[in-house]
Chains A and B, each alone.
Chain A
Amino acid sequence: DTEVTQTPKHLVMGMTNKKSLKCEQHMGHRAMYWYKQKAKKPPELMFVYSYEKLSINESVPSRFSPECPNSSLLNLHLHALQPEDSALYLCASSQVERNTEAFFGQGTRLTVV
């Protein structure tokens, strides 16, 4: 099983809303990632968790708040987003060793209105 599951698939939220994106994997991976992808652009790294601890934050605005409650789950909490935050949000996982393969989920298409 090489599946990373993201929910919801689509999300529309207002600028004053609070919502969360969820990511789950059961491959025993201890590194999990959030990427943001704008239309016709490559994915850009947002956060990296290693052994459930935040190891990289790519200077992401505080309106995005990641959480890794256990080794299988990764959440991204959203609050007071702007329309320019509309994008495809991708979750990925891998073994912690740096030469290992990364597996991506199908993404959450977020629209901020």
Chain B
Amino acid sequence: KQEVTQIPAALSVPEGENLVLNCSFTDSAIYNLQWFRQDPGKGLTSLLLIQSSQREQTSGRLNASLDKSSGRSTLYIAASQPGDSATYLCAGKYGNKLVFGAGTILRVKS
């Protein structure tokens, strides 16, 4: 069974800090890994997509890495801002399915 785990479950940091969110997956037969942001009661906003053949993707202050052999992905957020406060979800693509982790709730304090 494909499982995706995210650590930590919650994170609170002061504004300006760099931070890392972790995602691990049990089945390395992954097509891609996608990171999403979800604000309370809202839908999912796609942040970054990493193909299985790629090691890294960057968008602005966000950088995501993928290591298929170890079953891990990380999302690095540089110079965090209060507006970054949200739940961050990673999801592995297996066939036509996205399998989600439980998410990391991030709070950036001003």
Contact = CB atoms under 8 A, between A and B. Distances in A.
Interface of A: 2, 4, 6, 31, 33, 41-45, 48, 50, 55-56, 88, 90, 92, 98-107, 109
Nearest to A4: B43
A107 B96 contact: no
B97 A56 contact: yes
A51 to B, nearest CB: 12
15 contacts: A6-B43, A31-B96, A42-B89, A43-B89, A45-B98, A48-B97, A56-B97, A98-B31, A98-B95, A98-B96, A101-B46, A103-B46, A104-B45, A107-B41, A107-B42
B42 A99 contact: no
Interface in B83-103: 89, 91, 93, 95-98, 100-103
B73 to A, nearest CB: 15
Contacts of B89: 42-43
Contact of A41 (B41, B43, B102): B102
Contacts of B32: 99-101
Interface in B29-53: 31-32, 34, 36, 41-46, 49, 51-52
Given A88-B41, A98-B96, A42 B46 contact: no
Interface residues of B, number: 24
B28 to A, nearest CB: 15
Nearest to B41: A109
B97 A99 contact: no
Given A98-B31, A98-B95, A90 B100 contact: no
Contact of A42 (B34, B42, B100): B100
A99 B31 contact: yes
A109 B36 CA distance: 19
